[in-house]
């Protein structure tokens, strides 16, 4: 370490050592947070950040709320009932947030990180896959349907998905994928992001132990009949704190420059 500091002209060695030892992404634990207030705050943070602003990962859970993406279609909300609907500026269709779900918002400068949006999405999904693997669960990607899915018949199986789970049919659902694409699968993590001036907000939601009934009031992510599951219903007993801790670690590792 001394040799590294000596090789850098006009620096304060103690300051540089502190910088090198600091975690690349600062983690903020928000606890139970109002969705609208959190959305407004992360948008403000993104608008006001500078090239020197440190990247941050916010973790929280929300009270029951449906959130609608920019391209969201009203007919995907079947019966909201007493659950409020919030318009967001992320991509994607409608989804549900509620207690027992870990919501992670990475607020990153992609230009500084050195990768593009497509890879950013891949890295978030990879962090979720590694989080599930920590609990013995095998997660799957579906081409054209961001998020992570599990096999309903055996979520702990390491078997690859059947070819029918990879969209190739001309017969499509309203979301644009083959109608049978999601057969035998349940969605366990939803992804929706926004990038402004190369900086990200919104993020990913992992279902841990939550009330799943509200998902039946919508077409989750725009797909009619798509089943939604959480870790609890597939046989994983863990706490919100433990799941959030694992997910935060995997996200920090996966999103590193």
Catalytic residues: 221
* Interatomic CA distance for residues 213 and 95, integer angstroms: 13
The pairing of strands 139-142 and 185-196 is unpaired
Residues 6+ apart with CB under 8 A from 121: 146, 191, 193
Q: Can you say how many angstroms the Cα of residue 107 is from the centroid of all Cα atoms in its chain?
A: 12
Pairing state of beta strands 199-207 and 227-228? unpaired
- Per the DSSP assignment, residues forming a β-bridge with 109 are 199
Buried b (16+ CB within 10 A) or exposed e, 222-247: bbeebbbbbbebbebebebeebbbbb
Closest CA relative to residue 26, chosen from 52, 2, 54: 54
Q: Which residue is associated with the tokens 């109608």?
A: 179
Whether the Cβ atoms of residue 189 and residue 128 lie closer than 8 Å to each other:
yes
Residue 5 to residues 8, 11, 24, 52, 93, Cα–Cα distance (Å): 5, 8, 19, 21, 50
């Amino acid at each position: 370490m001394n040799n590294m500091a000596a090789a850098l002209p006009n620096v304060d060695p103690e300051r540089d050592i502190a910088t090198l030892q600091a975690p690349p992404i600062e983690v903020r634990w928000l606890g139970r947070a109002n969705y609208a207030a959190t959305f407004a705050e992360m948008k403000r943070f993104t608008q006001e950040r500078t090239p020197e602003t440190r990247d941050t990962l916010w973790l929280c859970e929300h009270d029951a709320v449906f959130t609608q993406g920019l391209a969201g279609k009203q007919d995907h909300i079947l019966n909201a009932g007493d659950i409020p609907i919030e318009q967001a500026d992320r991509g994607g269709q409608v989804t549900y947030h509620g207690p027992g779900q870990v919501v992670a918002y990475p607020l990153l400068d992609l230009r500084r990180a050195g990768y593009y949006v497509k890879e950013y999405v891949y890295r978030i999904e990879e962090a979720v896959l590694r989080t599930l693997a920590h609990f013995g669960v095998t997660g799957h990607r579906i081409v054209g349907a961001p998020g992570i899915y599990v096999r309903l018949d055996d979520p702990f199986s390491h078997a690859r998905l059947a070819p029918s789970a990879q969209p190739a049919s001309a017969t499509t659902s309203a979301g644009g994928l083959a109608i049978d694409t999601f057969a035998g699968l349940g969605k366990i993590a939803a992804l929706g992001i926004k990038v402004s001036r190369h900086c990200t907000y919104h993020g990913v939601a992992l279902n841990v132990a939550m009330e799943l009934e509200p998902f039946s009031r919508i077409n989750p992510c725009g797909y009619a009949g798509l089943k939604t599951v959480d870790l609890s219903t597939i046989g994983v007993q863990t706490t919100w704190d433990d799941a959030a801790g694992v997910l935060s670690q995997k996200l920090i590792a996966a999103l590193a420059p």
